[in-house]
Amino acid sequence: MALPGVENTVPDAAQRTSFRSSWTQPEGMGPAMIIEGKIVDVNMVLWTVDVVSQFDNKWYLNVQVASPYLHFKRGEGIYVVPEIGAKCHVCIPSDGPPPFVLDFIMPQESLLDATTDDAPVGTESPTNSTFAGGRLAAKPGDIVARGRDGNFMILHRGGVLQIGATELAQRIYIPLQNLITDISQNYRHYNTGGSIQWFLAAGESETNPSTIRKDTYRLLAGDARATIRVAYGTLKDIVAEPPDGATSELSELGIGTSEDGPVVMEVVIAPDGFAPDTGTPDGSTPEQTVLRYLFDKKGNVFLRSEGSVLLKIRKKLRIVSDDNIDIVGKKNFSLKVTKTARIDGGDLLELNGKVVKINGGTRDCAHIGAVVECQITIPWISTPAAIGVPVSILPINPVTGQPHTIKGTIISGNSKVLV
């Protein structure tokens, strides 16, 4: 029933007051209004915007922006801070509340070339226009969230999730075999247990810089420094050898010393020897090193261990070298087999030592030029006691009581020794 003196009509939303029940405003809802406009100012403190309508140039001040969901107190949800110049729709509700930004739309642009990705060959556009506005080329069903500077999140149809800042800084989750793929130009991961860094060397050629990867590990999460470092690539900060290390041997063998054969892989164990976030050694790291293993670009290999090394193999072991083999020990050397041992010295086999024992022998072995005394067996006929009495053949000289011997010098021989 209409109020006395008031026509039974409901004004449109733009004419309504904010009081639904008053002498000037009848109860009930009128038609809502949707106005196209452009954002001209953003209040980041109040989370409101100022909008000017597209055609009538009417101003709508301190208008809030709608969202798919927002918690009314805690603020969690999905929200975007719009930029000045964004094209939007302002909704004026039908029952009196203040207006709000309903959504955002893309302005129309003309196609300069009908053969672009926006209008493929064979497509006819009566208006020769597009509303792409620089958006990514998505597929039906894709959900895209993208920032002004190129960072993005895409929920692809098929369950693939793609998150990234640029084309060279992104991660892709693929439901097939639950695969995670990382794409990066430089990668750094920091953990309480250490760090992983994979990057291009700074200050080098932009077209072909060196690549380096460093993994550092603390033994305990509370350690101030890392103990283990594994590095790959064109390494610039390899760990130096300690004063009593193998610097001279490395130089003699040419391991990791030439510019065309740099160290490309190094494993070092040095208690508290590395910065955990960068893997950088300090001045005391060489003396702390208990194990160092490396190889260079030419394939040369070096291993130094301050502890014992055990190699246990169930089947065959074969060592083949096209050059010399040197085994140097400062104490004892032992070689033991349970069946047959053979050493083929080729043209010459040398055994050098103050004493050489063969088969556990305790006596010297004579050589050419040595003076030797040999025991011989000759018959010594004793004087018969009477005619018809047998004589005796004695193995020793009855006069001296010693075996029969002769002395002489060895004047010939060969290299074959049989014991």
Question: CB–CB of 246/286 below 8 Å?
Answer: no
How many percent of the chain have pLDDT more than 70?
Answer: 80
CA–CA distance, 106 with 131 (Å, rounded to integer): 6
Region 85-104 average pLDDT: 92
Summarize the confidence of residues 41-68 as an average pLDDT: 94
Q: Check residues 347 and 49 and name the one with the higher pLDDT.
A: 49
pLDDT digits (tens, 9 = 90+) for 118-148: 555 555 555 577 888 888 888 899 999 998 8
User: Residue 96: which of 23, 24, 32 has the closest Cα?
Assistant: 32
217 lies in the same domain as 295: yes
Mark whether 41 and 92 lie in a shared domain: yes
CATH for 42: 2.40.50
Residue scoring higher pLDDT (404 or 82): 82
Do residues 257 and 246 touch, judged by C-beta distance below 8 A? no
Looking at the fold, whether 240 and 286 belong to one and the same domain comes out as yes
Q: State yes or no: pLDDT of 115 exceeds 50.
A: yes
* Each residue's pLDDT tens digit, 149-170: 889 999 999 999 999 999 999 9
Domain end point (choices 59, 92, 109): 109
pLDDT of 415:
47
Q: What is the mean pLDDT of residues 374-389?
A: 61
Are 80 and 143 contained in the same domain? Answer: no
Indicate if the pLDDT at residue 9 is higher than 60. Answer: no
In a domain, 320, yes or no: no
d(CA 246, CA 363): 40
Torsion of CA 320, 326, 330, 334, to 10 degrees: 40
The answer on 147 and 224 residing in a single domain is no
- Domain end, chosen from 128, 152, 185, is at 185
The reply to whether 377 falls in a domain is: yes
Residues 169 and 208 placed together within one structural domain of the fold: no
Does residue 167 sit in the same domain as residue 83?
Answer: no
Quick one: 252 and 296 in the same domain?
yes
Q: Tally the domains of the chain.
A: 4
The CA distance from 117 to 204, in Å, is: 38
Cα angle 266-267-271, degrees, rounded to a multiple of 5: 135
Distance CA 304, CA 241 (A): 10
What is the predicted pLDDT for the residue at 118?
58
**Cβ partners under 8 Å of residue 42, min gap 6:** 49, 50, 81, 82, 83, 84
Q: Determine the pLDDT at residue 354.
A: 78
Both structure tokens of 41: 């100012």
Range of the domain at 225: 203-305
Whether 231 and 262 share a structural domain:
yes
Regarding whether 408 and 375 lie in a shared domain, the answer is yes
The span from the CA of 246 to the CA of 268, in Å, is 15
**Model confidence over 219-263: pLDDT tens digits?**
999 999 999 999 999 998 999 999 999 999 999 999 998 877 899
Percent of the chain with pLDDT over 90: 53
63 and 152 share a domain?
A: no
Whether residues 293 and 377 share a domain: the answer is no
For residues 56-71, give the mean pLDDT: 93
pLDDT value at position 409? Answer: 83
Considering only 9-23, 99-113, 332-346, which range has the smallest mean pLDDT? 9-23
- 263-272 confidence digits (pLDDT tens): 999 999 999 9
Give the β-pairing of 100-104 and 59-65: parallel
What pLDDT was estimated at residue 419? 43
Do 90 and 74 form a contact (C-beta atoms < 8 A)? no
- pTM of this prediction? 0.65
The whole-chain average pLDDT of the chain stands at 84
Amino acid identity of residue 301, one-letter, is V
